[in-house]
Amino acid sequence: MKITVVGAGAVGATCADNIARKELAEELVLLDIKEGFAEGKAIDMMQTSALLGFNTKIKGVTNDYSKTAGSAVAVITSGLPRKPGMTREELIGINAGIVKSVAENILQFSPDAILIIVSNPMDTMTYLSLKSLGLPKNRIIGMGGTLDSARFKYYLSVAMNCNSNDLQGFVIGGHGDTTMIPLTRYATYQSLNVTDLLAEDVLAKVAADTMVGGATLTGLLGTSAWYAPGAAVCALVESIVRDEKKLFTCSVSLEGEYHQTDICLGVPVIVGRTGWEKVIDYNLTEEEQAAFNKSADAVRSMNNVLKEMKLI
């Protein structure tokens, strides 16, 4: 088993570190465009192997995709964050070029690889990959909802003063502050509905905190988070390589599911050896479906930038 992570920044390196510690691959390739950066991160991580007891071989490379040949899974974290004064269109245009180039290079040497897209705007970069690469839809997975759902369970655990591992909860919709939808109605604590355990105003605050979870950390850290995003990617990789068939929220191609078509959006899916295997229908209420449709409209407006710029 061989896995590639493209982008050796904070998220990519944390993802690689988690994959190595869990021994999900015999070989893990960390690739970056910055000379020596991935090599340095790889050596640093490999020097922990004698202390942590893992056997995965981590190799860092600078922009040499031939070293990624034969990868079963490739994680794409490459891209620029939005900078002051940069328009949404500029960000999408720059990152679309990066993601498309990275994906094409990966597939040149690993034509059967499953792609996990982390680059932002994540739903739009997943849609770009779907439309431009010609891969079966099940091999293109956007990570965002997996992270959002983990944040949802964290805020629920704080409100309930309980262990987050005893909670189930999902966030659907777009991976953005105003587009994600925490499904509070379905959240449970050891099979008990949290709606019966928390006051309505407390549950509303949990949902609101979840939606701005990423922005909250950016405000505190001065940069985007990396521990939880890296762990979220690793959880998806683990479900793929071990064929665990776990349920995650992922941005995937919708062809009528949840009343949406021609879009990649966060919905609950089973993830296994072949990628995402099927969408699970949570039977949304009229209000939840309206929120999901509104989220889809917002994501579709960003996708339209790709069409206007003739990137797809």
Catalytic residue annotation = 175
Distance in angstroms (rounded) separating the CA atoms of residues 137 and 269 = 13
Grouping H, G, I as helix, E, B as strand and the rest as coil, residue 3 is: strand
State how far the Cα of 47 lies from the Cα of 50, in Å rounded to an integer.
7
**What pLDDT score does 81 carry?**
76
Give yes or no for a contact between 9 and 38, defined as CB atoms under 8 angstroms apart: no
Structure tokens at 83: 């900078």
Helix residue spans in the chain (DSSP H) = 10-21, 37-46, 49-52, 88-109, 122-133, 144-160, 200-211, 213-221, 227-241, 286-308
Is the pTM for the entire model greater than 0.75? yes
Taking only Cα atoms into account, the Rg of the chain, rounded to an integer number of angstroms, comes to 19
Q: pLDDT tens digits for the chain (312 residues)?
A: 999 999 999 999 999 999 999 999 999 999 999 999 999 999 999 999 999 999 999 999 999 999 999 999 999 999 987 666 767 778 899 999 999 999 999 999 999 999 999 999 999 999 999 999 999 999 999 999 999 999 999 999 999 999 999 999 999 999 999 999 999 999 999 999 999 999 999 999 999 999 999 999 989 998 889 999 999 999 999 999 999 999 999 999 999 999 999 999 999 999 999 999 999 999 999 999 999 999 999 999 999 999 998 998
Task: Please state, in angstroms and as integers, the Cα–Cα distance from residue 254 to each residue in 54, 129, 312, following that order.
Answer: 38, 14, 17
Residue-wise pLDDT for 33-51, tens only, equals 999 999 999 999 999 999 9
pLDDT of residue 138: 98
- Yes or no: say if 16 and 5 are a contact pair by the CB < 8 Å rule: yes
Tokens of 31: 């690739």
Q: Each residue of 209-268: pLDDT tens digit? A: 999 999 999 899 988 899 999 999 999 999 999 999 999 999 999 999 999 999 999 999
